[in-house]
Amino acid sequence: MTHINLPALRDQHYDVPIGKLFFQLIRYGGNDYLTAFVGTSEPPIYVEIKRASIYGGSSQGQSYVGTLTAASPTARIDDEILRASDEMHWTWIRQRDQAGLWSLCEVNLYVSNGGYRIDVWVNWIYRDADIPLFND
């Protein structure tokens, strides 16, 4: 688990490594919001991303499927993580590396107190698994 005080970070972002990818939180909008990206410095990486969040009694979800390349190394997965609320945020990321091995993890994010208390933790479901593709 990683504890982050995002307003205290000088470069206004924080990267959490997840295999060949990273989960990045960025401060923007006069520090009222966070945005979340998944990216890679070792493209091409095929990714499948699903996200769910709960805040203020409502929920939302989003998904992304595609290949992160050198020309497009990131995928935005949430535009506005509301720092002032007590938001819970779950992201499931499946990635296939260049050797064809799959990894699946869940990235959890808990935000409170205007971003002064952010917890991020990664749970690996499997790593570097040889999974047959039925429609590839």
Instruction: Express each pLDDT in 11-30 by its tens digit.
Output: 677 888 888 888 888 776 55
> Is the pLDDT assigned to residue 123 strictly greater than 90?
yes
Rounded Cα gap, residues 83 and 25, in angstroms = 12
The conformation of residue 103, written as its DSSP 8-state character, comes to: E
Phi then psi dihedrals of residue 30, to 5 deg: 65, 30
Mean of pLDDT values over 111-129: 85
Mean of pLDDT values over 49-64: 78
Structure confidence at residue 30 (pLDDT): 56
**pLDDT band (50, 70, 90) for residue 92:** very high
Q: What share of the chain is helix, strand, coil (3-state, %, to 5)?
A: 5, 65, 30
Q: Which residues face 121 on adjacent strands?
A: 108
For CA atoms 130, 76, 118, 14, give the dihedral sign. Answer: positive
Structure tokens at 48: 């499948």
Walk me through the domains of the chain, giving residue ranges and CATH numbers. Answer: 2-129 (2.60.40)
**pLDDT band (50, 70, 90) for residue 10:** low
Rounded Cα gap, residues 11 and 13, in angstroms = 6
> Is the pLDDT assigned to residue 31 strictly greater than 60?
no
The reported pTM is 0.81
Length of the chain (residues) = 136
